[in-house]
Structure 1
Amino acid sequence: MTDMLKTTPDFSIEDAKRLLAGHYGLKGTLSPLDSERDQNFKVMTGSGETYILKIINAGEPLVESEFQTALLRHISRHAPDLPVPHIRSTTSGSSLAETTSGHGVRHLLRLVGWVPGMPLAQSARSDTALESLGRLLGRFDAALKGFMHPGALRDLDWNICHAGRSAGRLHHIAGTEDRALLERFLARFDITVAPRLPALRSAVIHNDANDWNVLVDSDNHDRIAGLIDLGDALYAPVIAEVAIAAAYAGLDHADPIGAAAAIVRGFHAEYPFLEEEIDLLFDLIAMRLVTSVTISASRHAHTGGNPYLAISEKPAWTLLRKMDAMNPRFATAILRHACGFEAAPGAHAVTAWIEANHTSLRPLLDRPAATYPADLVPYADPNHPMTVASAGERPDEAQAIWQAYCSERGVDLGIGPWGEARTVYSGDMFVSRLIEETRRIRHLGLDLFMAAGTRLYTPLAATIVSVEIEKDPLGYGCLIALRHEPEGCPAFVSLWGHLAHEALGRLQAGDRLEAGALVGEMGAPTENGGWAPHLHLQISTDTRLSATEILGVGEERYLDVWAELFPNANAFAGIAPEFFAKTGRSHDEIVRLRKELLIPNLSISYDRPIKFVRGDGVWLIDDSGRAYLDCFNNVCHIGHAHPAVVEAMARQAATLNTNTRYLHDNIVAYAERLTGTLPKELTVAGFVNSGSEANGLALRLMRAHTGRENAIVLDWAYHGTTQELIDISPYKFQRKGGKGQKPHVHVAPVPDSYHAPADWAAGEHGKRYAESVAELIATMQAKGEGPGFFMAESIPSVAGQVFLPDGYLKEVYRMVREAGGVCIADEVQVGFGRVGSHWWAFEAQDVVPDIVTMGKPIGDGHPLAAVVTTREIADSFNNGMEYFNTFGGNPVSCAVGLAVLDVIEGQDLRRNAQEIGNHLIAGFRALQQRFEVIGDVRGMGLFLGIELVTDHKTKAPATDFARAVSNSARQRGVLMGTEGPHDNVLKMRPPMIFSRRDADHLLAVLEDTFEAVAATG
């Protein structure tokens, strides 16, 4: 220190004036400025110019003085607009001058321009100002790219790479706790930071952007006006520039990490960081502070109270204690986010994978969570009695309030959403460690409220990370962390809180859980931390956080960061987004407008209509986010909104859509694929837009070929909406509003083996029912006429899912053809692989129709339908009259049809239909053994029916029971219909993608429903 005193300049103001005049030819008013090693004077010339005269410490090596000079010259040449000191040359044109003190010590002089402004330390340090500082530092360092000088390789303790030297100064720290604090940071530095520093990008940096060396505009404190004092510049890792600035900006700042993030954001915009640099920033900020307090302590006895050294010592200790209380991973997540990096590497991929695969996840509850009637738990309302009870730590009272709330509204599941602001978090444990005088009030998990003991299952295979009991009041109680590593997705952790303690004896770290395995049960208030029973479910994309480190509640300021680190678990839990955002008109308004604007006899399903807003595979989602298992709407043959269909439709629509007057590959490609699924006799296709159009075209083909009109149809048949199809549909013309049977229409009884006369032998049903068709033909022939056609669904649907007796179609087809008619198979509902064993239901009867009609299921609900016939009939139709259908067979529709075929074949959905159908039929028959109301179970593939009767002997229809089951199943989240002449047949036609899990859910709901309806009489 004695040597330093000898080399430190000590010139009077008068001496400085003489030096200024002699070397620079300037006169003016001089005033001294604080400095640690050099001597500085502010110079104000008579002409209004302002400078700083620096008399350099004689102990500074010449190479360092030359380095600073070269640095300033470089900036002046390459970034003259930077608000930093610029050199004023001597009268002889030199960058440096030289003088000798009265002690004979040689000193160098440098004159630089004054940068106007007020020190950042004296301003409010707004985020805008700090981001502006980051931008200036980024521009400064960018200007120094490629610059190097031997003097930059100086050996200073202030070099961040030498921060570990602070360990040698720890003996100057008096307090044991203070030394321990610094030792913790030093240990982290030695283990995780120092080994990685050599691999980082390094360059010449300012190295001392403390809040006294940074100036703000005196009139606009949000704008950085300048950067001064380049005396500590050196060659170091670039990230050190921001670490140093952030260390000083965080002093006495309510949100020091937020201050650092603002600087980072600005710097990154000018000089982009690498992720590996940002990942070390928290520790480097801390180590700058460690260096500062240890140097200050080591010199304290020799400084004589030098304010330059001591000015930041107390706030530095305060900030170090704050940082010691922080989780470095949270701070790093905030800093990463400021650069636009993911808060945790892979976070976006995790959320994208869960969203893309949510339909394949196993249910978290006994059935999919979205199928329960649900409502928001009122924690967002600070005045709600449940919130008040919870905040007052009265969990039993809160539980009772919630149960009453559910009972009043018919709710089975309470949901506490991610991100919700909750005043209920009032304990000390919810005080922020990042921001002073701030509470963590934003919920970062998903709460599911049900009864204590509700069983919870993992949606994905997992490895147990930890099982522990958190005993703090308002804590988690039993807490379980699971690690998931699905293929194609980064690993992530799910956190399960407020569970019953039974899991502690059943599970242990390292155990493997398969998807759907039991995790635990919702705990009672006595063991779940003192809350009403619920699950707190949370996802962490940072797998290095322990269960107790994962933030369950976060600061509002950093909600966008927490959204990446702890993303919303809705999709993981199976909660539909529509639950949180209801859109469009109300139910009552839509019903009113339908009555005003639409034809009045347009029907609506169910006593309480449902407003569906989205389809997803086997599910339909209503406007409240409740999901219904769709076992009824067969039009979406391979599931709602199938991605392959949507993609094919969008791709072709974006390219070309036109009519069939022009050539296009799609129509012939689709015709070739479609006819390839049919018997070899059926080779010619015609494309239309609906099943009704298909049946209408079939009748035109029939007339052109036979010249006849006489129709033979089955009782209770339905074939379409046009008048000529209504005329051949007994389901329509025999009921209210119908005009009765036309003379050319002949109705045969439905060949229903279940309702066949008791004296008919079982093997004779097909033949005996066919005799009625023979009688109709004979009646026509007696009048000198003959049948034009016989049309029937291969499995009559509206008639009650009736499966034709063996041999029936073979016999009827023979008789009709012998009488000169043609045979039309209506496969609109039953075809395209639905029966599983065959592509087409008529194949199960070992027949080949003359004409086959198909409807919208072949386009998965897109308006695509078809007629396929023989070459002979097609030639008869080619009678000179042009056939044209504007949209039938257009490129978009055919692209959709090809996509549907690809899915059916590629995913072997026929086999799936057969296997799942057999499983369902077995399940229905098991129900039949328990419930006498089930008279008959019938089905093939995924075309299924259950007939309900009041008496097995008379087979009297249980119509009211059937309707009650359909409505009650709807209340339980499953859609089915009732059909048959008495509406006593439960009709089910689920999508071809129906899984074993879906089937088991259907069976469970049916069991509950039959029990409930039977109990109410």
Structure 2
Amino acid sequence: MNDMLKTTPDFTIEEAQALLAQHFGLNAALTPLDSERDQNFKVSAGDGRSYILKIINAAEPEIESDFQTALLAHLGARADTLPVPHLQPALSGESLATTSARSGLVHRLRLVSWIEGMPLAQSERTDAALRSLGHMLGRFDASLKGFMHPGALRDLDWDIRNAGRSAGRLLHVADPQDRALLQRFIDRFEERIAPRLPMLRSAVIHNDANDWNVLVGEDDRNRISGIIDFGDALYTPVMAEVAIAAAYAGLDHPDPIGAAAAIANGYHAEYPLLEEEVDLLFDLIAMRLVTSVTISASRRAHTGGNPYLAISERPAWALLRKLDAMNPRFATAILRKACGFEAVAGARAVGAWIDRNRKNLLALLDRPAAAYAADIVPYGDPAHSMTVNSAAARPHEAQSVWTEHCRGTGVELGIGPWGEARTVYSGEMFVSRLLEKTRRSRHLGLDLFKAAGTKVYTPLAATVASVEIETDPLGYGCLVALRHEPEGCPPFLTLWGHLAHEAVGRLKAGDTLEAGALVGEMGAPEENGGWAPHLHLQICTDTGLSASEILGVGEERYLDVWSELFPDASAFAGVAPEFYEQTGRTHEEIVRLRKDLLLSNLSISYEKPIKFVRGEGVWLIDDRGRAYLDCFNNVCHIGHAHPAVVEAIARQAATLNTNTRYLHDNIVAYAERLTSTLPKELAIAAFANSGSEANSLALRLMRAHTGRENALVLDWAYHGTTQELIDLSAYKFRRKGGRGPKSHVHVAAVPDSYHAPADWPAEEHGKRFAEDIAELIAAMRARGEAPGFFLAESIPSVAGQVFLPDGYLKEVYRMVRDAGGVCIADEVQVGFGRVGSHWWAFETQGVVPDVVTMGKPIGAGHPLAAVVTTREIAASFDNGMEYFNTFGGNPVSCAAGLAVLDVIEGEDLRRNALEIGNYLLAAFRSMQERYEVIGDIRGLGLFLGIELVSDRSTKAPATEIARAVSNGARQRGVLMGTEGPHDNVLKMRPPMIFSKRDADHLIAVLAETFEAVLARAG
């Protein structure tokens, strides 16, 4: 460098003007420009055009001058619109001219076009300006693709590949702390970065896009108007271009990583970067600064001080200290995100996997989080601060604040959402290391508030990564980190904070936890950092971070980055998305509109109505995100929104839907599959849209075959909504609004063994109850009449989940057929394997009906129904009158029906129904031993009933208690109903996919509800 200073040109303005005229034919005014080793003049020609005259240092090797000349020539040919200096040839036609100075030194001359604008150093470095700089550098480097020159292969200390040489200049840095700071960056560079540089893409780049070499528009300071000074251009890794520009842009910038991200974003749009390049950017920025300050220190040592060389040293040191305080992984995540990459590789896959598999994750609390009545914890309200006043040392107050908030609201679980803005984070520990004068205020975890001692379990198998105690005020207290490696998902961490200290003695790093294993207990304020008892749960997709490095609170500016590094744990914890965002009309508005627009006798379930917005498996989710275990709605037979049914409906609806007058595979395929589940005698099918239509069609079949109208039905039966079915449903015509039985309707007693006369032997119940039918037939014969049909649910449902006594149907069917009647089995509620032991409930009685009707579960929510009968009855119905149903048997409905059968068979749901049903019955019988109010337990498969009585000896109905239990279970997130003549039978018909885990949840809620209801009843 000293040699270069000795050979610096020193021409007067007059001498330079003469050289300009001699070699370039221009007579113009010249203005001197600053330069370190050359001599530069602004040329203002008379025609209004401007140029730069460069008189090159005599010591500059000719190859370097030729390199710059070739580079400029390449740009002129390949990118003539790029706002960079363009060569103006000398009168000789050459790109360079040569002259001698008074000293005898030979200097070369170059004339290039002037670029209008002001230095970026003199303008505000807005995000827009820095993005524009990135775009400009990307265009510049893209235009140099394929360009090479021997001069580009020179050896420069400013080459990023030589940044490690800074270690040899550390001796010129006087302060030992400063040397240690630089050494940390150099060590990282040598260990992690330098070995990877040879594998990066390399090309000729500008290599010195500092803010004095970058110009902004005079009229638009957010637009880069030009790039100048190619004196440091060389062949090196492409990524150095972004790193150098970012290093200078970050000087005295309040958000240096944001500045780098803006440049990288713009560059990437013009010259796409690779992930492995962006991953090195933070360290390359730092090493450019290390190179700068060590070179400045070295030069000062040799020259005794040089203000020009030291012009950027102070802000460079300040920026190095900022970078040293940052976590490089966070900075890199910001830079990756700016280029459109994931904040960390695999981050999005983790979130997607959790979302896809959330139904299979075990409950984090004693029951799924969505099953609790929940509310947002009011962190934003200073009057409800969830922290403890440490100065007052009253940790008990934190719990009382939360208790007060919940009192009277029925809230069981408090939730502190991800991303929530919180003013409570006021300590020094929350000051941002990325942004100046900024506090981290955005919550990056999910808080679940319950009482101290509440146990929390891992929803997914894990390995314990660490267990530690944070003693800082407002820290985590006991902190556990788990590592999860589920199949088909990148590994990720979960952080469990504010736990009781008991976990430290129970868990250690390396321990394996099965899904559902205990992680810990929510800690009390005195051991959880001074907070109201709660769990801070956080997901971390960067497994390279330690527990203490994971940010629990982040900067709002980078919330999009944190959302990938630390995605919302709500799905992992079982919180429904509807909890955070309510849509549609309010409950009150819907109730009012129902009254105004719908039939007034359209009832609403429960004392406090529920607005459901989504169904999923065994759960119904309301508009507040609360999930209710559905033990009642048997229409969604294989679970709500089963993907196989949804897909089948969507696929067929997108292809074709038409009526049965045209040929289609689906209707015959479904008829074949459906009849194969029935006894061979039942071979002919017809399709409709509802159970009511199916039962009405069954009556038409009966009339065509027998010519009769007389009906034999059971008391408290229900068969459909049409008038002729209401006339056959004692549940309707014997209640308010009904007009009693019509003359052709003959009602037999419900064959309810629990309420059979005490003197009847149990083995004779079927025969004794059948005598009622015999008497009705005898009365008809006495009048010269005969029964047309016997219609009964194979398990009377609204009568109170009544299971027919053994032999009942066999005896009744014999008598009816002997009298010339037809036997119709209503399987609308109980068919399709619900009983588990058989496909159809009538099979449990060892009979084969003449007609079977089906509906409700047949399409798992899709409107579909069917009637299956014998060939003989079908022949009678073929009397010349066409049976046509516009929608019955259409391709879409049959596709849904086929999917339901596929799922029942493919997932072995009949076996599941029987096993889970038996498990529940055993649990209910155990409850019966504890609670006198339980008079009878009955059920088969997943068709279950619990009859409640006020006195077991008299079997008097406990109607109010039954309703209280049903409503109490609803309040605790479980749906069931009450049925029977006195509404005292708890009715449960859960989906066929009901699991043991679901059953345990039902059992726990029922027990808790019985305890609460009976305690109130005294």
Match of 2:154, SS? Answer: coil
Cα distance, 1:386–1:517 mapped onto 2, change above 3 Å: closer
- Does residue 753 (structure 1) correspond to residue 753 (structure 2)? The answer is yes
**Aligned 8 A contact 1:419 1:443 in 2:** yes
1:276 shift after superposition = 0.7
Residue deviations 1:656-681 (CA, integer Å, cap 9, x gap): 22211212221111111111111111
Match of 2:614, SS? Answer: strand
- Aligned partner of 1:401 in structure 2 is 401
Matches within 5 A, 1:279-294: 279-294=279-294
Structure 1: gaps (5+ residues): none
**For 2:354 and 2:390, how far apart are their aligned partners in 1?**
32
**Aligned 8 A contact 2:499 2:522 in 1:** yes
- Does residue 248 (structure 1) correspond to residue 248 (structure 2)? The answer is yes
1:102 shift after superposition = 2.3
**For 2:321 and 2:363, how far apart are their aligned partners in 1?**
45
Match of 2:702, SS? Answer: helix
**For 2:392 and 2:379, how far apart are their aligned partners in 1?**
13
1:383 shift after superposition = 4.9
- Does residue 323 (structure 1) correspond to residue 323 (structure 2)? The answer is yes
- Aligned partner of 2:472 in structure 1 is 472
Give the counterpart letter for 2:403 in structure 1: Q
1:3 shift after superposition = 2.6
**Aligned 8 A contact 2:816 2:823 in 1:** yes
Cα distance, 1:251–1:481 mapped onto 2, change above 3 Å: same
**For 2:304 and 2:77, how far apart are their aligned partners in 1?**
41
- Aligned partner of 2:230 in structure 1 is 230
- Aligned partner of 1:41 in structure 2 is 41
Residue deviations 1:74-126 (CA, integer Å, cap 9, x gap): 11111111000000000111011111222322222111111111110111100
**For 2:690 and 2:432, how far apart are their aligned partners in 1?**
62
Match of 1:379, SS? Answer: coil
- 427-436 vs 757-766, which moves further: 757-766
- Aligned partner of 2:196 in structure 1 is 196
- Aligned partner of 1:953 in structure 2 is 953
- Aligned partner of 2:679 in structure 1 is 679
**For 2:1008 and 2:215, how far apart are their aligned partners in 1?**
74
Match of 2:620, SS? Answer: strand
1:307 shift after superposition = 3.9
**Aligned 8 A contact 1:96 1:110 in 2:** yes
Give the counterpart letter for 1:682 in structure 2: L
**For 1:601 and 1:361, how far apart are their aligned partners in 2?**
41
1:787 shift after superposition = 1.3
Matches within 5 A, 1:965-1004: 965-1004=965-1004
**For 1:796 and 1:174, how far apart are their aligned partners in 2?**
94
Residue deviations 1:172-198 (CA, integer Å, cap 9, x gap): 111111111111111111111111111
Match of 1:898, SS? Answer: helix
Residue deviations 1:366-402 (CA, integer Å, cap 9, x gap): 1111111111111122454657969988643232121
**Aligned 8 A contact 1:390 1:424 in 2:** no
- Aligned partner of 2:861 in structure 1 is 861
Matches within 5 A, 1:381-392: 381-384=381-384
- Aligned partner of 1:4 in structure 2 is 4
**For 1:285 and 1:1006, how far apart are their aligned partners in 2?**
63
- Aligned partner of 1:531 in structure 2 is 531
**Aligned 8 A contact 1:382 1:422 in 2:** no
- Aligned partner of 1:922 in structure 2 is 922
**For 1:458 and 1:497, how far apart are their aligned partners in 2?**
13
1:42 shift after superposition = 1.5
- 490-499 vs 583-592, which moves further: 583-592
Structure 2: gaps (5+ residues): none
Cα distance, 1:13–1:388 mapped onto 2, change above 3 Å: farther
Give the counterpart letter for 2:68 in structure 1: Q
**Aligned 8 A contact 2:718 2:732 in 1:** yes
**Aligned 8 A contact 2:387 2:530 in 1:** no
**Cα RMSD (Å):** 1.3
- Aligned partner of 2:460 in structure 1 is 460
- Aligned partner of 2:833 in structure 1 is 833
1:365 shift after superposition = 0.7
**Aligned 8 A contact 1:483 1:493 in 2:** yes
- Aligned partner of 2:488 in structure 1 is 488
**Aligned 8 A contact 2:172 2:301 in 1:** no
Matches within 5 A, 1:618-657: 618-657=618-657
1:816 shift after superposition = 1.2
- Aligned partner of 2:517 in structure 1 is 517
1:585 shift after superposition = 1.5
**Aligned 8 A contact 1:637 1:860 in 2:** yes
**Aligned 8 A contact 1:836 1:940 in 2:** yes
- Does residue 605 (structure 1) correspond to residue 605 (structure 2)? The answer is yes
Give the counterpart letter for 1:823 in structure 2: C
1:305 shift after superposition = 4.6
1:767 shift after superposition = 1.3
1:61 shift after superposition = 1.9
**For 2:649 and 2:388, how far apart are their aligned partners in 1?**
53
Matches within 5 A, 1:346-365: 346-365=346-365
Match of 1:408, SS? Answer: coil
**For 1:150 and 1:914, how far apart are their aligned partners in 2?**
82
**For 1:117 and 1:749, how far apart are their aligned partners in 2?**
99
**For 2:103 and 2:802, how far apart are their aligned partners in 1?**
118
Residue deviations 1:397-422 (CA, integer Å, cap 9, x gap): 23212111111312111111111101
- Aligned partner of 1:367 in structure 2 is 367
**For 2:391 and 2:338, how far apart are their aligned partners in 1?**
34
> What TM-score comes out, normalization by structure 1 length?
0.99
**Aligned 8 A contact 2:386 2:532 in 1:** no
**For 2:727 and 2:862, how far apart are their aligned partners in 1?**
27
- Does residue 932 (structure 1) correspond to residue 914 (structure 2)? The answer is no
**For 1:850 and 1:2, how far apart are their aligned partners in 2?**
111
1:60 shift after superposition = 2.1
Give the counterpart letter for 2:594 in structure 1: R
Give the counterpart letter for 1:310 in structure 2: A
**Aligned 8 A contact 2:777 2:787 in 1:** yes
- Aligned partner of 1:666 in structure 2 is 666
Cα distance, 1:507–1:934 mapped onto 2, change above 3 Å: same
**For 2:394 and 2:200, how far apart are their aligned partners in 1?**
54
**For 1:470 and 1:385, how far apart are their aligned partners in 2?**
21
**Aligned 8 A contact 1:35 1:308 in 2:** no
> What TM-score comes out, normalization by structure 2 length?
0.99
- Aligned partner of 1:278 in structure 2 is 278
**For 2:340 and 2:101, how far apart are their aligned partners in 1?**
54
**Aligned 8 A contact 1:361 1:459 in 2:** yes
**Aligned 8 A contact 1:393 1:530 in 2:** no
Match of 1:981, SS? Answer: coil
Matches within 5 A, 1:714-793: 714-793=714-793
Residue deviations 1:663-720 (CA, integer Å, cap 9, x gap): 2221111111111111111111111111111111111111111111111111110000
**Aligned 8 A contact 2:684 2:868 in 1:** yes
**For 1:118 and 1:267, how far apart are their aligned partners in 2?**
21
- Aligned partner of 2:797 in structure 1 is 797
1:806 shift after superposition = 1.1
**For 1:677 and 1:365, how far apart are their aligned partners in 2?**
41
1:303 shift after superposition = 4.6
**Aligned 8 A contact 1:379 1:387 in 2:** no
- Aligned partner of 2:422 in structure 1 is 422
1:627 shift after superposition = 1.0
Match of 2:168, SS? Answer: helix
- Aligned partner of 1:504 in structure 2 is 504
**Aligned 8 A contact 2:711 2:789 in 1:** yes
- Aligned partner of 2:340 in structure 1 is 340
- Aligned partner of 1:895 in structure 2 is 895
1:12 shift after superposition = 2.3
- Equivalent residues, number: 1017
**Aligned 8 A contact 1:160 1:287 in 2:** yes
**For 2:784 and 2:145, how far apart are their aligned partners in 1?**
103
1:308 shift after superposition = 3.7
**For 2:5 and 2:209, how far apart are their aligned partners in 1?**
26
**For 2:471 and 2:100, how far apart are their aligned partners in 1?**
73
Match of 1:409, SS? Answer: coil
